[in-house]
């Protein structure tokens, strides 16, 4: 690796500002020689954590100004490192950090001879410094503090920190700003002096071991491609939610549940194999690869190369599954990391993914799919799936309404161990009605033709998915009560040869997504032909889900309006992240509700793109 500064000047201060094309600032020092290195660093999967060579050219005048030294003193300092000062400036090389495989070492605390902040090394920052490694929320950190002041440490995030050995007993620790997209970035550094060569080497090994601890399975992944930059995913996602999310999808039993959904898996297989012309000789990126099944489908269809990007520990299993299919494995690379962070060596001709959650948008993986499009897809590249549609219609289901209302009857007890529970009946009832119902229901419960809201994955912006607002307007097909709004989705694979739909509609074969129903706090009475208006408003939140607000009103319009009485309004507020997982089979149907509205033909009417 080569680090250089060219026509950029010298960057001074504890926080050094990167300019021009400098993407990462490195500060290094040898003992008392106050030398600053600045330059570009390119860390690939093969060279991450290793620095083969550091060099810099520092103009003599800038050396004098920076260190308040004359050329003779600067030359003497450079020569003490074994590197003479030339007319153009100073050249300094460092040794690569050693990473021996000694798994039995468990050192996490080190006593240091001294520690100094860069660039100033006139006096040690801490008189009796101690270095400790921590693992906090899955992030490895290095804390350096005075032996008697452990609560006031200098902290370094090991994801964005590099260690350079300068001599047998000296090393420099550099922490770079993760905000790579900003025009101005900052770095900080410390010079560490160890008590002896053995402790320096031991610290170097511990540094690399702790840095890689959060990626325990990475060494098992062939052609791994990693990144250490902070992403928009981290900024908008609660850490505990992300941890649970990746833990869930890192388990084979949940992958099996999805693989056994024959509607899902079979439709993906058909969409790929029936459109081999879109895959033959093409580069494919599998976004959120999971078990790697879609990557294998793409390779079967003749893809030139497939990059399977997976952030959870399932990446190790995907690597194993792919390796077990040797005729395909040579054309598949597993990249462990978030799609927002991972770096790939080439652009993709086609993206393939299964980013759909409950009601299409739950889990907010659609946003990652859009980010992958912007980062990796070539212009006019294909996306499988290409677009999605959310469908909604009012429903009548007295049994469901009574079931939810009766859950709160427990809180109507006035002598529960001599305690009156009734003050909590109303909030308990609100909690039960705030749970969206996830189940498979009979389509005859719908009392109006459904409407749809389309999301074009090829053009939608990430921010468009933060808030979704859908106006509602229905004409009721029969007189009854409306107990809420039923929702489902479908997605289109717009292949060059064949167009395939994957649907979760009621009346179609049940998938592991089922359907979703938001139940109104109060039912609405309607007459045949009466108009229903309202709004479905969805707001994304940091738990990778949405808060759903549903408002529905009866209008004095339509053939049955004059018989409908006064206008009525009812609402529901649901957290899509906290569903009521009801029975997983279609519910019983009453003859009194036996009415089947006209379908809107959503599967037959294609939107050409």
Cα 228 to Cα 234: distance, rounded to the nearest angstrom: 12
Q: Which residues make Cβ contacts (< 8 Å) with residue 187, sequence separation at least 6?
A: 15, 16, 18, 24, 25, 26, 27, 174, 175, 176, 177
Q: What values do phi and psi take at 210, rounded to 5?
A: -70, -35
Cα 420 to Cα 415: distance, rounded to the nearest angstrom: 5
CA-to-CA separations, 583 to 411, 521, 580, in angstroms, rounded? 24, 21, 10
- Tell me, what DSSP letter sits at residue 431? H
Assess whether the previous peptide bond of 265 is cis (omega < 30° from 0). no
Token duo for residue 196 = 């002896």
Are β-strands 109-111 and 129-136 bridged in parallel, bridged antiparallel, or unpaired?
Answer: antiparallel
- Other beta carbons less than 10 A from residue 14's beta carbon: 14
SS3 67: helix
**Residue in 262, 26, 47, 308 with CA at minimum distance from that of residue 166:** 26
Token duo for residue 516 = 């979703």
Cα 3 to Cα 39: distance, rounded to the nearest angstrom: 5
Secondary element (H or E) of residue 404: helix 398-407
∠ CA 132-133-137 to the nearest 5 degrees? 135
CA-to-CA separations, 191 to 57, 358, 476, in angstroms, rounded? 20, 51, 75
Cα 285 to Cα 298: distance, rounded to the nearest angstrom: 9
Active-site amino acid positions: 354, 363
SS3 215: helix
Angle at which helices 71-80 and 60-67 cross, to 10°: 90
Q: DSSP string of 266-280?
A: HHHHHHHHTTGGGTT
Beta bridge partners of 302: none
The residue ranges of DSSP E strands in 385-428, in sequence order, are: 387-395
In the Cβ-directed half-sphere of 131, how many Cα atoms lie within 13 Å? 27
């Amino acid at each position: 690796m080569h680090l250089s500064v060219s026509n950029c000047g010298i960057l001074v201060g504890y926080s050094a500002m990167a300019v021009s094309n400098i993407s990462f600032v490195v500060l290094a020092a040898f003992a008392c020689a106050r030398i600053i290195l600045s330059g570009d660093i390119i860390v690939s999967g093969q060279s991450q954590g290793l620095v083969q060579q550091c060099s810099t050219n520092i103009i003599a005048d800038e050396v004098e100004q920076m260190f308040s030294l004359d050329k003779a003193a600067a030359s003497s300092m450079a020569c003490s490192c074994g590197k003479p000062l030339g007319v153009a400036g100073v050249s300094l090389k460092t040794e690569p950090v050693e990473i021996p495989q000694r798994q039995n070492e468990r050192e996490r605390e080190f006593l240091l001879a001294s520690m100094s902040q860069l660039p100033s090394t006139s006096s040690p920052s801490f008189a009796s410094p101690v270095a400790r490694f921590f693992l906090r929320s899955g992030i490895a950190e290095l804390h350096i503090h005075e032996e008697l002041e452990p609560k006031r440490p200098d902290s370094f995030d090991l994801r964005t920190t590099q260690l350079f050995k300068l001599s047998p007993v000296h090393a420099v620790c550099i922490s770079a700003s993760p905000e790579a997209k900003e025009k101005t970035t900052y770095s900080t550094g410390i010079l560490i002096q160890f008590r002896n060569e053995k402790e320096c080497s031991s610290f170097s090994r511990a540094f690399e071991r702790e840095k890689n601890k959060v990626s325990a399975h990475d060494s098992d992944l062939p052609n791994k491609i990693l990144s250490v930059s902070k992403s928009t995913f981290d900024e908008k996602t609660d850490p505990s939610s992300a941890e649970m999310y990746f833990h869930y999808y890192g388990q084979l039993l949940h992958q099996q549940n999805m693989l056994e959904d024959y509607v899902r898996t079979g439709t993906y297989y058909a969409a790929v194999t029936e459109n081999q012309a879109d895959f033959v000789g093409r580069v494919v990126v599998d976004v959120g690869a999971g078990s790697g099944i879609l990557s294998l489908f793409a390779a079967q269809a003749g893809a030139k190369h497939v990059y399977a990007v997976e952030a959870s520990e399932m990446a190790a299993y995907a690597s194993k599954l792919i390796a077990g299919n040797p005729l395909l494995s040579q054309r598949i690379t597993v990249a462990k990391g978030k799609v927002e962070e991972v770096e790939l060596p080439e652009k993709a001709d086609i993206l393939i993914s299964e980013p759909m959650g409950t009601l299409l948008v739950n889990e907010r993986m659609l946003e990652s799919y859009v980010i992958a499009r912007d980062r990796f897809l070539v212009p006019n590249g294909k996306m499988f799936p290409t677009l999605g549609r959310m469908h909604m219609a009012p429903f009548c289901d007295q049994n469901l309404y009574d079931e939810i209302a009766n859950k709160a009857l427990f809180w109507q007890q006035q002598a529960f161990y001599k305690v009156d529970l009734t003050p909590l009946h109303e909030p308990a009832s609100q909690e039960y009605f705030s749970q969206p119902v996830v189940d498979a229901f009979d389509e005859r419960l719908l009392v109006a033709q459904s409407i749809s809201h389309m999301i074009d994955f090829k053009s939608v912006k990430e921010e468009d998915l933060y808030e979704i607002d859908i106006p509602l307007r229905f004409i009721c097909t029969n007189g009854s009560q409306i107990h809420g709004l039923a929702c489902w989705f479908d997605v289109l694979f717009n292949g060059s040869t064949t167009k395939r739909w994957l649907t979760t509609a009621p009346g179609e074969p049940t998938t592991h997504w089922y359907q979703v129903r938001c139940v109104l706090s109060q039912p609405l009475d309607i007459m045949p032909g009466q108009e229903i208006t309202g709004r479905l408003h969805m707001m994304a939140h940091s738990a990778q889900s949405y808060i759903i607000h549903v408002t529905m009103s009866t209008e004095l319009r339509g053939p049955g309006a004059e018989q409908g009485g006064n206008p009525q309004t009812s609402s529901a507020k649901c957290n899509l992240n906290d569903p009521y997982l009801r029975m997983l089979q279609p519910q019983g149907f009453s003859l009194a509700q036996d009415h089947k509205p006209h379908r809107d033909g959503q599967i037959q009417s294609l939107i050409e793109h």
